[in-house]
Amino acid sequence: MNNNQNSKGITILGSTGTIGVNTLDVIARQSEHYHLIALTANSNVDKMLQQCLQHHPQYVVMVKEQAAEQLSIALKNQAPDIEVLSGSQALETVVELTQVDYVMAAIVGAAGLLPNLAAAKAGKRVLLANKESLVMSGKLFMNTVSENNATLLPIDSEHNAIFQCLPASGLQGVTQILLTASGGPFRTRAIDTLHDITPEQAVAHPNWVMGQKISVDSATMMNKGLEVIEACWLFQLTTEQIQVVIHPQSTIHSMVAYNDGSVLAQLGNPDMRTPIAYGLGWPMRIESGVAPLDLFEIAQLNFEQADYNRFPCLRLAYEAHQAGGYATIALNAANEIAVEAFLNRQLRFTDIPALIEYALEQTTSGTPETLNEILIQDSESRRQANLWWHENK
Ligand code: NAD
Ligand code: MG
């Protein structure tokens, strides 16, 4: 604990994940400005124990009860002052605490929705890495942020770049958002061999080190599809205003085009500590530990169109957002089921979009107004996706 009166209290949702670990790294570099209130994880006891001993939060949540019990026993002698909670409800408890100023929303998938909404409802600064929650509940989420005077800052590198390149006064003069994508590991692989792809090949991203789910999403380019939807909600844009640009070097993290011909870009090494530091420090800049960009080493910046034949998930995401909120919930739910089945070697890589397309066909247009409607659509789409998978595996 530090003695700085202005030090910000932080809860990290998903601290054992890639974003969580990078967030802890940035915070440890500025320990006089930030202090940890809570760390949370699903079940990784070893990693959480190590984080607790190194970073000393006041609370820790393990969603899985058995994991919480194991962690309590391990902490008893080494750090008995850390309070261990369990269950998904506890995620909401540790974001709502009055001593929490900032919440890093870095749980993967739909499991992040309720705690992220709780953070927005409690008026916190929400550092949003978990794009799935916005894809599921964009309208409700943005309303919750504004009704409760919360501050929503994008951590996804592309959205963080866009945020850095937009004028402070909204969208004045903006004509287009150029959302960059690396193209993932299969950008140039022969299309007729995509069905043979293994989980190991899919998670081996050329530029970024990330969790398994987002790595598969990057390989199918569903990640970019989810990001198109995320950008629409964050910046109040239509899908027509967003152009996906494949940029294999991942040096430009996105761009904003203006009506006078200017295009502003944010560049940097592909290291999530840059957008994390920007979100933590905003409106100031703080050190992140990221190496300076060496343009001479990079030497070239290339750009390509995205091919919907190679990446049908990208097309499905555009179509889903145009159809409305029910469809984007179905898109996300079916994708989560498909990616998990693929990682378990129970679904072919090329069946991921087929399964999602089926779930979308079962869904009505329009947008849900309430959380209950969102959750019902989510579980209905999961049921349909599972059905398709059992019939086609
Ligand atoms: P990860 O798989 O490395 O970590 C996920 C974290 O969520 C872990 O701490 C895990 O314990 C926790 N978690 C998993 N299931 C949970 C559940 N049911 N309940 C509560 N907690 C649960 O994932 P990641 O790569 O750090 O990504 C996290 C989020 O950030 C994702 O939404 C991803 O799309 C987004 N994101 C990640 C990156 C990146 O570079 N890794 C970049 C941009 C956005
Ligand atoms: Mg991204």
pLDDT digits (tens, 9 = 90+) for 53-81: 999 999 999 999 999 999 999 999 999 99
Instruction: Decide if 351 contacts 388 (C-beta within 8 A).
Output: no
Quick one: pLDDT at residue 390?
87
Q: How far apart are CA 178 and CA 162, in angstroms?
A: 9
| Cα–Cα nearest to 32, from 57, 1, 77 | 1
Reported pTM: 0.98
Task: Output 205 or 306, whichever has higher pLDDT.
Answer: 306
Determine the CATH number of domain 160-270+297-392: 1.10.1740.10
Helix (H) or strand (E) holding 117: helix 113-121
Which tens digit of pLDDT belongs to each residue from 322-379? 999 999 999 999 999 999 999 999 999 999 999 999 999 999 999 999 999 999 999 9
Assigned CATH class of 8-154: alpha beta
- How many angstroms does the Cα of residue 297 sit away from the middle of ligand 1? 31
Q: Is the CB of 229 under 6 A from ligand 1?
A: no
Task: Label residue 238 by pLDDT band (50, 70, 90).
Answer: very high
Residue 1 has pLDDT above 80, yes or no: no
Average pLDDT over residues 259-276: 98
Atom of ligand 1 nearest to the CA of 14: 9
Residue 91 CB-density burial (10 A; 0-12 exposed, 13-18 middle, 19+ buried): buried
Which tens digit of pLDDT belongs to each residue from 2-45? 668 899 999 999 999 999 999 999 999 999 999 999 999 999 99
Average pLDDT over residues 92-110: 98
Residue of the CA atom closest to atom 4 of ligand 1: 17
Average pLDDT over residues 293-320: 97
To test the ligand 1 pocket, which listed residue (61, 114, 214, 278) has its Cβ within 8 A of the most ligand atoms? Answer: 214
Task: Output 5 or 288, whichever has higher pLDDT.
Answer: 288
User: Which residues in the chain belong to E strands, given as ranges?
Assistant: 8-13, 34-41, 59-62, 83-86, 102-105, 125-128, 151-154, 174-181, 242-246, 252-258, 263-267
CATH code 3.40.50.720 region(s) in the chain: 8-154
Residue of the CA atom closest to atom 2 of ligand 1: 211
Please provide the size of the chain in residues. Answer: 393
Q: How far apart are CA 159 and CA 275, in angstroms?
A: 9
- CB under 8 A, 24+ apart: contacts of 144-150: 144/117, 144/120, 145/120, 148/120, 148/121, 148/122, 148/123, 149/123, 150/119, 150/120, 150/121, 150/122, 150/123, 150/124, 150/125, 150/126
CB atoms within 10 A of CB 199: 17
- How many angstroms does the Cα of residue 159 sit away from the middle of ligand 2? 7
Residues 6+ apart with CB under 8 A from 344: none
219, two tokens: 């390989």
Which residues are 334's β-sheet partners?
A: none
184, two tokens: 């993932």
Which residues are 8's β-sheet partners?
A: 34
Q: How far apart are CA 3 and CA 50, in angstroms?
A: 24
CATH code 1.10.1740.10 region(s) in the chain: 160-270+297-392
